[in-house]
Amino acid sequence: MSDQTRFILDQSDLPREWYNVNADMPVPPTPVLHPQTMEPVTPDFLSVLFPMELIMQEISTERYIEIPEEVREIYKLWRPTPLLRARRLEKMLGTPAHIYYKNEGTSPPGSHKPNTAVAQAFYNKVAGTKALTTETGAGQWGSALAMACNFFDLDLEVYMVKVSYNHKPYRRIMMETYGAQVFASPTDRTQFGRSVLDENPDSPGSLGIAISEAVEVAATSNGTKKYSLGSVLNHVLMHQSIIGEEALKQMDMAGEYPDVVIGCVGGGSNFSGLAYPFLRQNLRDGQRTRLLAVEPNATPSLTRGVYTFDYGDSAKMAPIVKMHTLGHNFVPAPIHAGGLRYHGMAPSLCALFDAGYIEAKAVSQLATFEAAIQFARSEGIVPAPESAHAIRAAIDEALEAKEKGDRRVILFNLSGHGNFDMTAYQAYLAGELQDYDYPAKEIEEAMKSLPKVELPA
């Protein structure tokens, strides 16, 4: 075997289609419900927030959807992204395992998020939208959409979770550099934001609250603004499938096939983006790759949340979906992986996890930063704290392989770099970070405010 480290695709190998897991779902879909009537949502309801083309993608069961040329042209600024064999990390761990990672941190804003941001901005532009609203947790999504809106000449309002706004001023400045307006959520610009501030003027904010604010602004704009979400929805997961499609070709170049594919999960988009094309190979081609989603102990929606119908946001304006949830009122501890703090998870991923097609595990904050430091010191890249959850799990797999003496092939998604996350690294290096397990009684309490959904038998 050669000692190649980087597996680079030519620009002409850039995939021409996204993969839609809906075509191959081995479990029946669950309905998406209107937050007030609790009846299945109609395209009309969704069209207040999204352009019709994205709504059609949301419900499509076509296996492949063509990537528009305008989107591919922008993807070419950084795609195909490199696949690397982490030889130096393998050596540091003394493991017989082969560790590969897909580096999505090479996009201009630094994560996988532009894969869907560019597509969403494009379809909005074509539909005549003039402005978008969105929320952002860590700032990666906001930066990605700010870049994309700038390319398509759309205005953008970003509602940034207050704790991240304060921790990460440079992310805000990056969004402003691309031309977006950024507000610390909860704000006094929306009815919902004001109600949160009345109750708690010091609210640190949450993704659920910021989503509510961005949705409210779009829904009350008389059609002048649409809303854009960076994870959870089917069409977002589908746009991210370009990661896995490239990785399949690159693993082929490396002459190996992964035994396990790993990604961190916030709403589920980078994990699904890498894993769903491998799931397709499991379902249709007889492969047996394990697919492992990794979340923080502090926001354990898959591993400890309840699989039930819940609202997508705190103000109960977004549709109700069936997912593993910690409750739509969830206000998480200010852990440093800001992008993993959502109360729920993509419905397709939850259904696949529930049916045993996907595995999940939760890891602690300190063990995650320990893995991030090992990765930075062996491979040279300072990972985003979100991505470090995947690294933790990849290292655990490699150490288990060492113990058992097996030559496991591990592939994980490096969903972003951590160059704007120095406050978190500073806190870790100063010994100021702590582990935090989400209390069981909070989950129990939150389940009391779930919507009362009764489906026909």
Ligand X SMILES: Cc1ncc(COP(=O)(O)O)c(C=O)c1O
Is 228 within 8 Å of 145 (Cβ atoms)? Answer: yes
Taking alpha carbons only, the member of 115, 128, 124, 130 closest to residue 55 is 124
Q: Which of 58, 386, 396, 397 binds ligand X (CB under 6 A)?
A: 386
**Contact call for residue 270 and ligand X (CB under 6 A):** yes
Taking alpha carbons only, the member of 330, 296, 303 closest to residue 436 is 296
Tell me whether residue 187 or residue 231 sits nearer to ligand X (CB atom).
231
Tell me whether residue 98 or residue 114 sits nearer to ligand X (CB atom).
114
Q: How far apart are CA 149 and CA 273, in angstroms?
A: 22
Q: Which of 20, 140, 325, 364 binds ligand X (CB under 6 A)?
A: 140
B/e letters for 36-69, b = 16+ CB within 10 Å, e = fewer, are eeeeebeeebbeebbbebbbebbeeeeeebebee
**Contact call for residue 391 and ligand X (CB under 6 A):** no
Write 187-195 long-range contacts (CB < 8 A, 24+).
187/159, 187/213, 189/213, 189/217, 190/216, 190/217, 191/216, 192/216, 192/314, 192/315, 192/317
Cα(first)–Cα(last) distance of the chain, in Å?
Answer: 56
**Contact call for residue 297 and ligand X (CB under 6 A):** no
| Sites for ligand X among residues 396-415 (CB under 6 A) | 415
**If DSSP codes are grouped into helix, strand and coil, which group holds residue 296?**
strand
Tell me whether residue 241 or residue 270 sits nearer to ligand X (CB atom).
270
Quote the crossing angle between the two packed helices 385-404 and 365-379, to the nearest 10°. Answer: 80
For residue 358, what are the CA distances in angstroms to 23, 206, 231, 243? 17, 27, 18, 18
| Nearest-CB residue for ligand X | 339
| Sites for ligand X among residues 414-443 (CB under 6 A) | 415-416
**Contact call for residue 141 and ligand X (CB under 6 A):** yes
Tell me whether residue 256 or residue 354 sits nearer to ligand X (CB atom).
354
**At a CB cut-off of 8 Å and minimum separation 6, what does 308 contact?**
322, 323, 325, 447, 450
**Contact call for residue 107 and ligand X (CB under 6 A):** no
In the complex, the smallest distance separating the C-beta of residue 270 from ligand X, rounded to whole angstroms, is 3
Q: How far apart are CA 164 and CA 160, in angstroms?
A: 7
| Sites for ligand X among residues 33-52 (CB under 6 A) | none
| Options 19-27, 133-141, 163-171, 251-259: segment touching ligand X (CB under 6 A) | 133-141
**Contact call for residue 268 and ligand X (CB under 6 A):** yes
**Contact call for residue 301 and ligand X (CB under 6 A):** no
**Contact call for residue 347 and ligand X (CB under 6 A):** no
Q: How many residues bind ligand X (CB under 6 A)?
A: 20
**Contact call for residue 265 and ligand X (CB under 6 A):** yes
Q: Which of 185, 231, 299, 368 binds ligand X (CB under 6 A)?
A: 231
Is 88 within 8 Å of 99 (Cβ atoms)? Answer: no
Taking alpha carbons only, the member of 203, 175, 153 closest to residue 108 is 175
**Contact call for residue 375 and ligand X (CB under 6 A):** no
| Options 138-146, 160-168, 188-196, 299-307: segment touching ligand X (CB under 6 A) | 138-146
| Options 91-99, 247-255, 380-388, 434-442: segment touching ligand X (CB under 6 A) | 380-388
**Contact call for residue 387 and ligand X (CB under 6 A):** yes
In the complex, the smallest distance separating the C-beta of residue 324 from ligand X, rounded to whole angstroms, is 13
Sites of contact with ligand X (CB under 6 A): 111, 137-138, 140-141, 231, 264-270, 339-340, 384, 386-387, 415-416
